[in-house]
Amino acid sequence: MSTTTAVPSPSTVEPKTPWSTSRTSQVRVAGTLVLAALAAVGVVQFTGVAGIDGWAVTFFGLSLVLAVIRTSRVGAKERKDSLMKVIITAAAVTAFAPWLSIFGSVLLKGYPGLRPNYFTQDMSLTVPDDFLEYGGAIHAIVGSFLMVIIATVVTLPLGILSGIYLTEVRGRLTLLVRFVVQSMSGVPSIVAGLFIYTTLVFATNTYSAFAGAMALAVLMLPTVARTAEEVLKLVPEDLRSAGYALGARQWRTAFMVVIPTVRSGLTTAAILGVARVVGETAPLLLTSLSNSSLKFNPFDGPIGSLPTYVFGYLQIGTEYAVARAWTGSLVLLVIVFILFTLARRLGGKDKR
């Protein structure tokens, strides 16, 4: 008679993670940050430190002091670990606070002016100090989009061709082209406006949307060219070699193999270039000026835009003029936010 010996089932062994943060350490860090935040609120309320920016600086300093005090009785390694966690978290909050302050201020001060007439009427029959129920900024919105579209049409082919020349052709002028593109990235916007003013506006004696678009194109070109170059560098050399092996010439391989592969990246380059220039004010003051009427002809004299709209109405300084300027800032901020969101989404969508 045979007997069967039961084999004990092996117990499940969970892997240890010594690098993970213990619950005690997490509670200590969170308590330090919360206490520092509450103490910073008290400092802002009862001292001369004001605003969210003052709160952020006070919060960062108090976080360091409290972290040093609360970790004075623990081991050296645990003390360093807790201190670094508090420093990194407090620094992130401090860096985020100014952006939150700007966005919150624009939202609170610009929201009251968001009315249907703001997107359907211009200011040709309305004075800046009229009630917000009258007039709008459709002329500035259309003018901005008109100049940005023209600048994109001019810049996008040049930027992509520059990237192709730097990554695919690699001719004798590669170093010169790369140097010029990198140098243009640091050109102040007012210099671009002066360049177009002396070459186009002064020669024709006419301010126009086309001149403003050319100034924006000067600023937009290096962003598109550099982004396109970096995107094209990501294409594997095997794809190019496969095109050459099939008998395709270099230009055909570049335009039918390389560019379609990074189509989403090039779209991202265009969107980033638009987001770079859509809020520029200085070059437009020298090229397109401003106007209170709705225009669609880019060669028909001065034209309005959101940056000059905001700049002009803030200078007027009256209650409703300033309110209109804050609303224009909010609309401009939303447009830039949408553009950057599209760039992020399109930049990661291409499954090829």
Choosing from 113, 129, 161, the residue where a domain stops is 113
Q: Output the average pLDDT for the chain.
A: 83
104, 143: one domain: no
Residue type present at position 301: G
Q: Which residue has the higher pLDDT, 8 or 279?
A: 279
Coil, helix or strand for 249? coil
54, 181: one domain: no
pLDDT computed for residue 70 by the predictor: 73
Query: What is each CA distance from 61 to 94, 115, 189, 275, in whole angstroms?
Result: 10, 43, 36, 35
Query: What is each CA distance from 189 to 166, 215, 261, 279, in whole angstroms?
Result: 25, 8, 33, 11
Choosing from 113, 147, 177, the residue where a domain stops is 113
Question: Residues of 252-271 as b/e, b for ≥16 C-beta within 10 angstroms?
Answer: ebbeebbbebbebbbbbbbb
159, 106: one domain: no
Q: Is residue 123 part of a domain?
A: no
Choosing from 98, 113, 128, the residue where a domain stops is 113
C-alpha span between 346 and 102 (Å, rounded): 27
Query: What is each CA distance from 327 to 99, 125, 166, 199, 309, in whole angstroms?
Result: 18, 19, 42, 34, 10
Q: Which residue has the higher pLDDT, 154 or 23?
A: 154
46, 183: one domain: no
Q: Is residue 120 part of a domain?
A: no
Q: Which residue has the higher pLDDT, 11 or 298?
A: 298
pLDDT computed for residue 151 by the predictor: 92
Q: Is residue 177 part of a domain?
A: yes
Q: Is residue 222 part of a domain?
A: yes
Could you list the residue range(s) of the whole structural domain that residue 300 is in?
138-347
86, 143: one domain: no
Nearest to 105 by CA among 335, 325, 337: 325
Specify the long-range contacts of residues 164-168, CB closer than 8 Å, at least 24 apart.
Answer: 164/228, 164/232, 164/254, 164/258, 164/259, 166/225, 166/229, 166/232, 167/229, 167/232, 167/233, 168/232, 168/240, 168/250, 168/254, 168/258
C-alpha span between 156 and 274 (Å, rounded): 10
Number of separate domains in the chain: 2
- The pLDDT tens digits for 96-121 are 888 888 888 889 898 888 888 888 88
31, 160: one domain: no
Positive or negative: CA dihedral 272, 276, 279, 280: negative
What is the CATH number for 308? 1.10.3720.10
pLDDT computed for residue 8 by the predictor: 54
Label residue 22 by pLDDT band (50, 70, 90): low
Mean of the pLDDT values across residues 233-255? 84
| Chain-centroid distance, C-alpha 80 | 35
pLDDT computed for residue 210 by the predictor: 93
State the residue for tokens 């940005």. Answer: 148
Residue 132: how many other CB atoms lie within 10 Å: 17
Residue type present at position 313: Y
* pLDDT above 90 as % of the chain: 18
C-alpha span between 104 and 34 (Å, rounded): 22
194, 305: one domain: yes
pLDDT computed for residue 142 by the predictor: 92
What distance, in Å, lies between the first and last C-alpha atoms of the chain?
A: 66
pLDDT computed for residue 5 by the predictor: 56
C-alpha span between 134 and 128 (Å, rounded): 9
Q: Which residue has the higher pLDDT, 29 or 350?
A: 29
- The pLDDT tens digits for 217-239 are 999 999 899 988 888 888 888 88
Specify the long-range contacts of residues 335-341, CB closer than 8 Å, at least 24 apart.
Answer: 335/278, 335/306, 336/275, 336/278, 336/279, 339/271, 339/272, 339/274, 339/275, 339/278, 340/271, 340/272, 340/275
pLDDT computed for residue 13 by the predictor: 56
